[in-house]
Amino acid sequence: MDSFGHTQQERDYSTKLTRIRKRLYMAIALIPGSGIASYAVSRLCSVLGINTSFPESCVLLGGFGMLLWCLFRYGSSVCPRCSKPFFTKGSYINAFSRKCLNCGLPLHPRSKDEWPCNTDPGEDD
């Protein structure tokens, strides 16, 4: 236990759950970010006298590609407790789930009671 009363297992879960949340936040940030970058490139091209939309299109396509990659990484995240896909159970997929669909580990644990560290991940199979 550390000085805050967290066990090593809870810290490991916390680190991995934070990584899953960061993947979602990155995808959300890319939506306006690629639009802003495209606008900046458009303004730069007009200042430089380039009369084509090719650079803006490249920036938008690059942003869209990064968005797809982030969403793929987010959707294929693995639960740190049961090592199964976090947002998938069988053929059911819920990318907006707030807990693992297989073992119930919460994505945003609020209190010590929400850390089910002492349970066996295979007991509700």
Dihedral angle, C-alpha 7, 10, 12, 17, nearest 10 °: -160
Please tell me which residue, 7 or 72, carries the higher pLDDT value: 72
Residue 66 has pLDDT above 80, yes or no: yes
6-60 tens-digit pLDDT: 556 666 777 888 888 888 888 888 888 888 888 888 888 878 887 777 777 788 8
Average of per-residue pLDDT across 80-95: 86
Rounded to two decimals, what is the model's pTM? 0.63
Dihedral angle, C-alpha 68, 20, 98, 24, nearest 10 °: -40
